[in-house]
Structure 1
Amino acid sequence: MNKIKLSPSVSFSIISCIIFFMLISLGSWQIYRLKWKLNVIQAIKTNLSMDTIGNKDLVFNNKAHLNYRKVKIQGKFLHNKELYLYAGNMSPNGKPGYFIVTPFAYETDKFILVNRGFIEAKQKIPTIRSDNTQNKEQIIEGILIPETRKPYFVPNNETKKNLLFWIKLQEISNYLGIVLYNAILLQYNSNEDELQPNKFSLHEIRNDHLAYAITWYSMAIAVLILYFKYKNNFKNKD
């Protein structure tokens, strides 16, 4: 059987077309993701503008539509179940440290996981912090945020050491032996001097899809330019 042998110009054209359409597809996918992200941001803006919800709202609503709602609830922290979420490059001051994550009882047998703020590694021990061990009733304020998927290259949680690298509510519920609300409360008021309060801004939501789309489309145009520039050279070799 004779093998089909393509001329250099035909091979060059086929390869160029494949690369071109791959780059166009990647750019179009980023445009789709851009539209999706803009819709998400708009939904977050809408929820942030709504009235603050309280204890009763959390008791009777355990739904995703409450994500990014402002919350003001009363209850007690379960300090004996405190966990440490490794901050990594999310550290607000560039120093190594953790986000303190503690369950909060807002009703009888009703618990929500609260990200209370950032603390430097040297202040991780609870007993050296000003207000940590006081098991008192208090009012906390914050924003409900959903748990996210585990990022790539992030290690598994070491719950037996109370160390987290990402938040998986079901895993944490199983470890602590309590049922947690299906969102996390990002607290932005704190009674502890050592804790740096959380801040939430829409500017922190990454939306690089337009830049990615421009990159892919630019590369597609570059391939097209190179194709027309060099195709005559390949024709001369045929």
Structure 2
Amino acid sequence: MRRFRPRLLPTLAVLPALVLLLGLGTWQLQRLHWKTDLIQTIETRAGSDPVPLLDLPLDDPAAVAWQRTQATGRFVTPPGPVDRYGVENRNGQLGGHLLGAFATEDGRTLLVDRGFLADAATLPPEPAGPVELEAIVRDRSQEQQTWFMPANDPASGRWFWLDLGALGERFGRPLEPVALQLLPGSPGATPEAAPPRIDLPNNHLGYVITWYGLAFALLLVYLAFSSERTDRTP
């Protein structure tokens, strides 16, 4: 037989650690539910029938992010070099995503990701006159340069992060806080345009198991350390 006899110092050391581990596990459980709902929302919006852009509240980027949409308007062609976003090696060819701007029927202007284009590839022309695009809406309202990103070079048309203010100056008009990522076959899309990848990592279940598992192990060690045999003989 064993009897539980907690000691002061071990108890004072274990309780805060146990609370911390349980708190981390609970936080990751909440993150798991949030990320699961987010992925489901993204997949639903991206896989739904297109919604006219005129019906979307573009001033609320989170509410329209990843929505499949159709937009009618004209491409805006600025003077100067071709604008490319990012650097990517695809099938052994170095290139980036071809950028454009699109003025809609109601007077709004959106940045457009026309798809991957190799540096050595022939530049596809922008459609002339009114066209109807099919695209996925992407939230670009929180874009900012991080410490490992090189600086943008507007003079050469190289963009490593989407500075909507500077790009708006480049295209001669303010841009909405969302962008359009053209779907394959849409007017203006490059031959290498592809649907956006929905690859948000969701590792929170593993973190939940880790933190709760550590809390359980700590509790077992504490109970074993704080118990003593009661059937000892002199």
The question of 1:198 aligning with 2:191 is answered no
Any stretches of 5+ residues in structure 1 without a counterpart?
1-8, 233-238
CA deviation string 1:149-202 (max 9, x = no partner): 548644364153433333343453355431212311111125689652132354
Q: Distance in 1 between matches of 2:191 and 2:45?
A: 27
Q: CA–CA distance in 2 between the matches of 1:106 and 1:26?
A: 47
Alignment of 1:16-55 (within 5 A): 16-48=14-46, 50-54=48-52
Contact 1:129–1:194 under 8 Å retained in 2:
no
1:111-138 CA distances to partner (integer Å, 9 max, x unpaired)? 1111122234x33xxxx52423x55234
Q: Give the Cα–Cα distance (whole angstroms) in 1 for the partners of residues 91 and 8 of structure 2.
A: 57
| Structure 2 residue aligned with 1:5 | none
Aligned equivalent of 1:155: 149
Looking at structure 2, the residues matched to 101 and 85 of structure 1 have their Cα atoms a distance apart, in angstroms, of: 7
Corresponding letter in the other structure for 2:83: L
Judging changes above 3 Å, is the alpha-carbon distance between structure 1 residues 22 and 74 closer, same or farther for their aligned structure 2 residues?
same
Determine if contact 1:79/1:135 at 8 Å carries over to the other structure. no
**Bigger-Rg structure (1/2):** 2
C-alpha displacement of 1:34:
1.8
Gap runs ≥5 in structure 2: 1-6, 228-234
User: May I ask how many residue pairs the two structures share in their alignment?
Assistant: 214
Aligned to 1:136: 128
How far is the alpha carbon of 1:143 from its aligned partner? 1.0
Counterparts of 1:174 and 1:26, CA distance in 2: 45
Q: For residues 28 and 151 of structure 1, what CA distance do their matches in structure 2 show?
A: 32
Q: Which residue of 2 aligns with 1:178?
A: 173
Structure having the larger proportion of residues in helix: 1
- 2-structure distance, mates of 1:37, 1:194: 32
Give me the whole-angstrom Cα distance separating, in 2, the residues matched to 1:223 and 1:10. 16
Q: Go from structure 1 to structure 2 and tell me whether the alpha carbon gap of 1:69 and 1:98 turns closer, same or farther (over 3 Å shift).
A: same
| Identity among equivalent pairs (%) | 23
Could you give the per-residue CA deviations for residues 74-133 of structure 1, whole angstroms, max 9, x where no partner exists?
333334375322256xx665865422222122337431111122234x33xxxx52423x
Q: In the alignment, is the contact (CA less than 8 A) between 1:187 and 1:197 conserved in 2?
A: yes
When the two chains are superposed, the root-mean-square deviation of aligned CA atoms in Å is 3.6
- Point out the more displaced range, 94-103 or 211-220: 94-103
Distance 1:20 1:114, change over 3 A: same
Call closer, same or farther: CA 1:194–1:113 in 2, change over 3 Å. closer
1:131 partner amino acid = P
Equivalent position amino acid for 1:72 in 2: Q
> For residues 151 and 23 of structure 1, what CA distance do their matches in structure 2 show?
34
- 8 Å Cα contact 1:116-1:198 kept in structure 2: no
- State the distance in 2 between where 1:220 and 1:94 align: 48
1:18–1:105: structure 2 CA closer, same or farther, 3 Å change rule?
same
Aligned counterparts of 1:119 and 1:63: Cα–Cα separation in 2: 30
Q: Which of the two has greater strand per residue?
A: 2
**Secondary structure class of the residue paired with 1:181:** coil
Give the Cα–Cα distance (whole angstroms) in 2 for the partners of residues 224 and 68 of structure 1. Answer: 44
Q: Secondary structure at the match of 2:116?
A: strand
The residue number in structure 1 matching 2:13 is 15
Q: What TM-score does the superposition give when structure 2 sets the normalisation length? A: 0.69
TM-score (norm 1): 0.68
